[in-house]
Chain A
Amino acid sequence: QPVLTQSSSASASLGSSVKLTCTLSSGHSSYIIAWHQQQPGKAPRYLMKLEGSGSYNKGSGVPDRFSGSSSGADRYLTISNLQSEDEADYYCETWDSNTQVFGGGTKLTVL
């Protein structure tokens, strides 16, 4: 079963860009993942599905400021022109053998 590893926290300034990382465990580097955003006190929201090739498909209404990319076992979420509402927890998700797996989440602070 894959394990997803995320840094516990990240920070960046208003108007700047930030790149969050989700790393797949050994033997699972080709897996497709999803990124989710959870603003304080709210339910998670699906952002995008991201393939190992770097190709991604965003959910409905997700701003153009959000993009995805990949390198080996790493899956990235880049947020450009950071806004205050981007301050949130970000989770990655994947699956294997009819089991869903979530990363531990990264708490993003917008300075």
Chain B
Amino acid sequence: QVQLQESGPGLVKPSQTLSLTCTVSGGSISSGDYYWSWIRQPPGKGLEWIGYIYYSGSTYYNPSLKSRVTISVDTSKNQFSLKLSSVTAADTAVYYCARVEVDTAMVTDYWGQGTLVTVSS
């Protein structure tokens, strides 16, 4: 069974860049059957899709965040990463990495446990 685990700093200063990595185990990130996704959830609020990446490096981003987001993949380490630049307090959230199946539908079928990132000086 596939497992996803987020890692990275829990505290980021305003205007700096948030960087997180997701390590995938129990399956290959190079499988053509999935996209690898980042989703966030501000405290007490709903889910917001940030973007995803295919093993080939193709990326798709939420238009509202596109100017600040970069998602990359390292197939040799079975990892993918998120960078969000120029962060503000509004970027404080639990950040989840997840797997999106590429089938008759594109829906999220596995989630990481999430990691809280607080933006504060």
A interface vs B, CB < 8 Å? 32-34, 36, 43-46, 49, 51, 59-60, 91, 93-95, 98-105
**Residue from the list A51, A94, A98, A101 in contact with B60, Cβ < 8 A:** A98
Interface string of B83-113 (1 = CB under 8 A from A): 0000000000000100010001111111111
Contacts of B109 in A (CB 8 A): 34, 46, 49, 59
- By the criterion CB–CB under 8 Å, are A32 and B107 in contact? yes
- By the criterion CB–CB under 8 Å, are A43 and B107 in contact? no
- By the criterion CB–CB under 8 Å, are A44 and B107 in contact? no
In this complex, what residue of A is CB-closest to B96? A43
14 contacts between A and B (CB under 8 A): A32-B105, A33-B107, A34-B107, A34-B109, A43-B113, A43-B114, A46-B109, A49-B107, A91-B47, A95-B105, A102-B46, A103-B46, A105-B46, A105-B47
B interface vs A, CB < 8 Å? 1, 37, 39, 46-49, 52, 60, 62-63, 96, 100, 104-114
Contacts of B112 in A (CB 8 A): 43
Chain A contact residues, majority secondary structure = strand
Q: How far is the CA of A99 from the CA of B46 in the complex (A)?
A: 17
**Residue from the list A45, A49, A102 in contact with B111, Cβ < 8 A:** A45
In this complex, what residue of A is CB-closest to B52? A100
**Residue from the list A32, A46, A103, A104 in contact with B108, Cβ < 8 A:** A46
Q: How far is the CA of A91 from the CA of B49 in the complex (A)?
A: 13
**For the complex of A and B, 4 pairs with smallest distance between CB atoms:** A34-B107, A32-B105, A100-B49, A98-B60
- By the criterion CB–CB under 8 Å, are A43 and B111 in contact? yes
- By the criterion CB–CB under 8 Å, are A101 and B49 in contact? yes
Q: How far is the CA of A32 from the CA of B96 in the complex (A)?
A: 22
Contacts of B39 in A (CB 8 A): 100, 102
Report the minimum CB–CB distance from B22 to chain A (whole Å). 13
Q: How far is the CA of A10 from the CA of B53 in the complex (A)?
A: 35
A34, A36, A43, A98 interface centre (most CB from chain B within 10 Å): A43
A91, A100, A101 interface centre (most CB from chain B within 10 Å): A100
